[in-house]
């Protein structure tokens, strides 16, 4: 591990660009700047690679996929004549395989890349801004421009008593040596939802508590349908609650919540706190540098990735922008290009697809119905249940729906969401439709391959004007 992130041997203290943070955003910024011919100081602190490869996307998604394998075997009886069983027989071996994947990708996609870029010097240490650049391990590093990409970490909601509980985060949950018998998950966002279902399928008795509803930012029809899936899988949901207190004793953890005016005590062996992310900004000296932050402590940036301090840019989870690894890399690339070429490029997330890796998967792009109305559009919508999609019928898995949002006066698509087992691989088609300004009519007339989940987008588009139940196969 020490060898993979050893500092580059360099006596240079003057660079064109200093990039603070060696995760996905930091590497994207450094590589982009190097490709522009710049001399770059890439400053990392801790394990190289950042959140995604080490404690986020990679380890969680491989474990979620393992849990899907368990569920797939157990759900085989949806086909007449089939039965199936599956169970976790060696949690530690499964976890070790996850760790091996993480270390392999960290080495291949981060550490091994450094020698490929002669103009990038990797410096290990905690960085702090000063007037002319940054200070690393007490040494001043002069840089023409600076890009902050220090990422974030799990946030902890301020529940009375939480500081006295040995709670888990999204990071430490994936480091457990043994599976608990029961688990309370605080938070119904995408992290809480993904990990709650994954643990339930591993055989843990799971209870989810959240202030609003499951995945509160998504369309209510999609949220309600996913909540039904969770309940059918044995996950207990307490939504719309207020947190009262929590405590821990030798029998486990107790979380007290108020639900519809009643005080309820929930008990489990372990507690997972999954209530969002906190930006890593405390050690940067932002206040002294005059860099504006929002109420969460995130760095405020404009559409050119500029902070409130001239010559300083920021990207990724440390900012007030989209908290997705691919958007972090995209924003960091823009930051590097703008820093070196005159701030000509604007951040554009209007056709940004996103995915929640529950099962069924939740995926979306563009505006929700509520957001479209708030933006002043006269809105029309279509909702197509998956039992109208031939692929879902053939797979005997009709959990889910597709919702499309369009402008009623122009017929132009504004957004949509998919709840389907293959929703993640279908959403990019809708993203392309939005990017190029397609109408619902044009989407409904587009040729799609039969017996695919993505064909549901065509059917959902046709649903604006007709009853697709009255069409023969492929007749639309």
Q: Binding-site residues, please?
A: 61, 187-194, 276, 317
* Known binding residues for FAD: 61, 317
Which is it for strands 252-259 and 242-249: parallel, antiparallel or unpaired? antiparallel
What residues have CB less than 8 Å from 143, skipping those under 6 apart? Answer: 14, 15, 16, 17, 18, 41, 133, 134
Q: The tokens 């990990």 sit on which residue?
A: 195
Say if residue 103 is preceded by a cis peptide, omega within 30 of 0: no
| Other CB atoms within 10 Å distance of the CB of residue 111 | 19
Enclosing H/E stretch for 406: strand 401-407
- The phi and psi torsions of 341 (rounded to 5 degrees) equal -135, 20
Where does 108-251 show beta strands of DSSP type E?
120-124, 127-129, 133-136, 139-148, 152-154, 182-186, 205-210, 236-239, 242-249
Mark the binding-site residues for NAD(+), compressed into ranges: 187-194, 276
Token readout for 136 is 């690393």
Please name the helix (run of DSSP H) or strand (run of DSSP E) that holds residue 380, with its range, or none.
Answer: strand 379-385
Distance CA 5, CA 26 (A): 14
């Amino acid at each position: 591990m020490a060898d993979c992130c050893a500092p580059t041997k360099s006596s240079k203290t003057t660079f064109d660009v200093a990039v603070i943070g060696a995760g996905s955003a930091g590497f994207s910024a450094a590589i982009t700047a190097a490709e522009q011919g710049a001399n770059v100081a890439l400053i990392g602190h801790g394990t190289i690679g950042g959140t995604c490869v080490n404690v986020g996307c990679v380890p969680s998604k491989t474990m979620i996929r393992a849990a899907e394998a368990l569920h797939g075997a157990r759900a085989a009886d949806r086909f007449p004549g089939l039965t199936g069983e599956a169970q976790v027989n060696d949690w530690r071996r499964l976890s070790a395989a996850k760790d091996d994947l993480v270390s392999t990708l960290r080495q291949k996609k981060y550490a091994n890349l450094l020698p490929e870029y002669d103009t990038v010097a990797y410096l290990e240490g905690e960085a702090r801004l000063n007037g002319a650049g940054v200070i690393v391990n007490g040494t001043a590093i002069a840089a023409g421009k600076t890009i902050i990409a220090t990422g974030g970490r799990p946030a902890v909601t301020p529940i009375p008593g939480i500081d006295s509980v040995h709670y888990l985060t999204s990071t430490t949950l994936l480091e457990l040596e043994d599976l608990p018998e029961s688990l309370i998950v605080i938070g119904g966002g995408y992290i809480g939802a993904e990990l709650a279902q994954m643990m339930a399928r591993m055989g843990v008795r799971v209870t989810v508590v959240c202030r609003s509803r499951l995945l509160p930012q998504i369309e209510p029809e999609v949220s309600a349908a996913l909540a039904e899936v969770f309940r059918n899988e044995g996950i207990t949901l307490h939504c719309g609650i207020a947190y009262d207190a929590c405590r821990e004793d030798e029998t486990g953890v107790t979380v007290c919540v108020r639900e519809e005016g009643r005080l309820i005590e929930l008990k489990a062996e372990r507690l997972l706190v999954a209530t969002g992310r906190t930006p890593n900004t405390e050690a940067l000296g932002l206040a002294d540098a005059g860099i504006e932050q929002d109420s969460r402590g995130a760095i405020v940036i404009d559409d050119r990735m500029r902070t409130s301090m001239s010559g300083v840019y920021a990207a990724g989870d440390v900012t007030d922008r989209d908290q997705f690894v691919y958007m972090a890399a995209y924003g960091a690339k823009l930051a590097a290009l703008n820093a070196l070429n005159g701030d000509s490029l604007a951040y554009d997330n209007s056709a940004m697809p996103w995915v929640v890796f529950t099962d069924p998967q939740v995926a979306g792009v563009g505006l929700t119905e509520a957001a479209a109305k708030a933006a002043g559009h006269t809105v029309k919508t279509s909702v197509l249940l998956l039992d109208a999609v031939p692929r879902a019928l053939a797979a005997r898995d009709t959990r889910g729906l597709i919702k499309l949002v369009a402008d009623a006066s122009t017929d132009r698509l504004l957004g949509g969401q998919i709840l389907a087992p293959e929703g993640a691989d279908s959403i990019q088609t809708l993203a392309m439709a939005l990017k190029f300004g397609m109408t619902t009519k044009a989407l409904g007339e587009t040729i799609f391959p039969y017996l695919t989940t993505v064909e549901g987008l065509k059917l959902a588009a046709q649903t604006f004007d007709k009853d697709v139940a009255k069409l023969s196969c492929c007749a639309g």
